[in-house]
Structure 1
Amino acid sequence: MSQRNRLMVLLAAAGMLVSAVAHAQDYPTKPITLIVPWPAGGSTDISMRAIADSASKVLGQPVTIDNKAGGGGTVGPATMAATAKPDGYTIAQLPITVFRLPLMQEVSWDPAKDFSYIIHLTGYTFGVTTSAESQFKTWQDVIDFAKKNPGKVTYATPGTGTSLHIGMEQIAAMAGIKLTQVPFKGGAETNAAVLGQHTMLQADSTGWRPLVDAGKLKLLMVWTGARSPNYPDVPTLKELGYPMVYDSPFGIAGPKGMDPKIVAKLHDAFKKALEDPAVIATLAKYDMVPNYKNTEDYKKFVVEVTESERKVIDTLGLAKK
């Protein structure tokens, strides 16, 4: 390469570097899309809209929600990882299913390589409900029926491989019973399924709360470490003899290759959103508590949770062959 050509290459590289730095400094200059991989109207959607609205005030640009449901919460993040530019204008909520499903089946993404982790936000209160007209008044009623009728107790979940699916299978194994999962796309569908008695049970996050409060559904258990202050009479898994706590914590990530300066701006905006009283109130409505982790701690958490899930999947015999 001639000296002249070498100089032109260096100038071009320098120009690209200056452009990238300017882009990071000016970011954001247009609306940001936040993919929520669940249907509109559920607890995740409502809480993420509150968080996005608060973060947009810090960023100075709208953060708009794009619901891409399916695959137990993996379709949206997988689509982002495959198609979005790493410019900070497309990000996604990441449920634990994103880390768990690759252990169970072949998928199109690698959680260790395909995402730029930004911030860890919060987790869920999970519970098992049944229709108010159901024969089940307690979880023991479910066990007694299931032992006499193996496989006939059906339960709705927001998808195969979700924490609700894996949690229910762990509970069933410990109780010595056989349950049958019926997967849906999200809380609106699982609510309709159990309310209409198309399934006997529902295992989901607190999108069921309005129906429980209205007396249309009965809450049989919660999966938190302590009883919910909203339902002090409902037992936890541990109280029922299952040594588990499931809250399926989640955060936000973008596609791989994002500029660290843009990641930092997004992190700071969403951290402030978690401290917003309006956001805290919305989370509390659904028994969700802020569970903040910065970018580096979130990356470490991903490694830890993947290994933890690997052990559970292996124990249940659900690992991919």
Structure 2
Amino acid sequence: MTHSLRPTTRRQWLAGVSAAGLASLTGAAQAQDRFPSKPIQLVLPFPAGGSFDPVFRSLAEAASRELGQPVVLMHQPGAGGVAGTANLARLSEGDGYTIAVMHNSVIRAPLVQRVSWDPLKDFTYLGSLFGMVTGVCVARDAPWATLADLMADAKARPGAISWGNVGAISINRITAERLARGAGTAFNMVSFKGGAEAFQALIGRHLDVYGDPGFGSQVQGGRVRLLAVFMDQRLKNYPDVPTVKELGYPFSIDSPVGLVAPKRLPPELQQRLHEAFRKAATDPAYLKQLDLFDMVPQVTSPQEYADYARAQFGRDQKMLAEIGFKLD
């Protein structure tokens, strides 16, 4: 035997369901309004002591003030700065409490090694922050006063001059290989875990050339000499240092750095984090660190950064095909 609800009971039941649904939505909205309610972990995929360390430490302090919760730096180095960020790609969804530094080596990773994640699908992009500047540096007492001196010596002694970089799959390593090939020579490529280790080797004359970003404090301190930069224009801090293009080599490097969260991060949390870090990126202490390491402010929206990643993946795919690179 079946029983139907009486009219008054049905109305009461529907009203109860509506109230419960409204309470649920209100609770969810309040929970989102309270974000963040605990510290946020910012994964830095490089060792402590490099140029990224003081830059992101100052940014994290500024972002903490914007968010009302600590932003805690977590160093997770490995695989040329790819491993720490890649760990987020393996999470099923984001809650806003774990984010990571994104750079082009992570975007490029599936093109040069076998990975189980997709940089275009497995992250929520929060926006870019700054652009890195790649320079060609030697020790202050090295025998090369100019890039022309260095390349002439490299041509006379193929494979004898060591060229350091952070990460075997970095664009800086790939571009240095192309530079050598275009000049009809080769360098002995040496990968380091981070910039601090590489500069120590360079200054101690255990390494001949270092070709990565983060050279500013070393050059300004007189410990190393900057021969050229992989830029379209000269740097304002070093107006006498030429670009590689000026010297007849058609290479420049575009290397924005930004932030990502795991995939499926709710849009309102994505926007909350973006706005907080966008405001933090105007902090004078952070901007001073960028200037010290010759990094250039380059703040974009989440959509602009995601669009850049997709376009950069295509550019790298084309570039690797042109140099004959094949994935083993």
Asked if the contact 1:31/1:62 (under 8 Å) is kept, the reply is: yes
Asked if the contact 1:156/1:193 (under 8 Å) is kept, the reply is: no
Cα deviation code 1:104-149 (max 9, x no counterpart): 1101321011101111111112111112222222111221122122
Give 2:10's aligned residue.
Answer: none
Query: Is 1:315 matched up with 2:327?
Result: no
Q: State how 1:276-315 maps to structure 2 within 5 Å.
A: 276-315=283-322
Determine which of 228, 236, 248 is the counterpart of 1:241: 248
Take 2:149 and 2:176, find their aligned partners in 1: how far apart are those partners?
16
| Post-superposition offset of 1:63 | 0.6
Asked if the contact 1:78/1:108 (under 8 Å) is kept, the reply is: no
Determine which of 63, 78, 86 is the counterpart of 1:55: 63
Query: Is 1:212 matched up with 2:240?
Result: no
Give 1:189's aligned residue.
Answer: 197
Determine which of 73, 82, 89 is the counterpart of 2:90: 82
Determine which of 102, 119, 124 is the counterpart of 1:111: 119
- Please give the secondary structure, in 2, of the residue aligned with 1:238: coil
Query: Is 1:179 matched up with 2:187?
Result: yes
Determine which of 97, 110, 121 is the counterpart of 2:129: 121
Query: Is 1:131 matched up with 2:139?
Result: yes
Q: 1:171 to 1:17 in 2, by over 3 A?
A: farther
Gaps of 5+ in 2: 1-13
Asked if the contact 1:84/1:90 (under 8 Å) is kept, the reply is: no
Asked if the contact 1:86/1:255 (under 8 Å) is kept, the reply is: yes
Q: 1:27 to 1:151 in 2, by over 3 A?
A: same
Q: State how 1:136-147 maps to structure 2 within 5 Å.
A: 136-147=144-155
| Post-superposition offset of 1:277 | 2.7
Asked if the contact 2:136/2:211 (under 8 Å) is kept, the reply is: yes
Q: RMSD of aligned C-alpha atoms?
A: 2.4
Asked if the contact 2:217/2:293 (under 8 Å) is kept, the reply is: no
Give 2:266's aligned residue.
Answer: 259
Q: 1:177 to 1:18 in 2, by over 3 A?
A: farther
Asked if the contact 2:164/2:191 (under 8 Å) is kept, the reply is: yes
Asked if the contact 2:43/2:74 (under 8 Å) is kept, the reply is: yes
Take 2:241 and 2:24, find their aligned partners in 1: how far apart are those partners?
59
Gaps of 5+ in 1: 1-6
Moved more, 60-69 or 235-244: 235-244
Give 1:157's aligned residue.
Answer: 165
**Which structure has the bigger radius of gyration?**
2
| Post-superposition offset of 1:23 | 3.0
Moved more, 13-22 or 125-134: 13-22
Query: Is 1:41 matched up with 2:41?
Result: no
Percent identity over the alignment? Answer: 39
Cα deviation code 1:3-57 (max 9, x no counterpart): xxxx9xx999998766544432211000001011112222222111111111111
TM-score by length of 1: 0.91
| Post-superposition offset of 1:84 | 7.8
Asked if the contact 1:39/1:186 (under 8 Å) is kept, the reply is: yes
Take 1:59 and 1:240, find their aligned partners in 2: how far apart are those partners?
46
Asked if the contact 1:40/1:46 (under 8 Å) is kept, the reply is: no
Determine which of 78, 90, 93 is the counterpart of 2:101: 93
| Post-superposition offset of 1:232 | 1.8
TM-score by length of 2: 0.89
Q: 1:88 to 1:33 in 2, by over 3 A?
A: same
Give 2:5's aligned residue.
Answer: none
